[in-house]
Amino acid sequence: MNTTNHDQQIQVLIDQAPQYGANPADVQAIAPGLKAIASRLKHPQYFILQTLEQNWLMTTLANRTQSNLTKNAVYAFPTFEDASAHYQGSNDQQMVALPIPAIHILFQMLAMKPVDSIVFFETPGDLQSGTEISRQNLFDTIRFHVQKNRSSQPNLPSDIA
């Protein structure tokens, strides 16, 4: 995905930050980390299954070798059809599949404590393999970029006015 699209998505997040209780300067500070992760994804937006109350559908995944180890994942689908096909396989409550910009999905994940990772399915029709982004990986990438940007800032004298 091109960086112009990332920049546009970041700008929308910055503009809407107060609506989410976030500081626009904080969103600007974490933007390089969000963009670094989003650059690994193939699509500018993905479809997320949500309840009518706008809660994202989480799936609990068990470790293949240690069934007592579980994690909560959200699936991000490349097309509406893929999201709908996945939903048809479950008999849960009413769901809708809504398109959400990739950067916004990552930003939302920061606040979604029960979500351990998001699996981004990249190829339409292929729900067997995807790109998994863990919360920890997202936090680590953001932390790296924030520290890198701080260290590249010139040290201004404290008495500058």
- Cα(first)–Cα(last) distance of the chain, in Å? 41
Which CATH code, of 3.40.1380.10, 3.40.1350.90, 3.40.50.2000, 3.40.120.10, is assigned to 3-152? 3.40.1350.90
Which pLDDT score, from 0 to 100, does residue 111 have? Answer: 87
Q: In the 8-state DSSP scheme, what is residue 55? A: P
139 three-state secondary structure: helix
Q: Which of 111, 127, 28, 152 is nearest to 119 (CA)?
A: 127
Dump pLDDT digits (tens) for 35-89. Answer: 999 999 999 999 999 988 888 999 888 888 887 888 999 999 999 999 988 877 5
Domain boundaries along the sequence of the chain: 3-152
Confidence check: pLDDT of 99 > 60: yes
Confidence check: pLDDT of 151 > 90: no
Confidence of residue 157 (pLDDT cuts 50, 70, 90): very low
Confidence of residue 29 (pLDDT cuts 50, 70, 90): very high
Which pLDDT score, from 0 to 100, does residue 160 have? Answer: 40
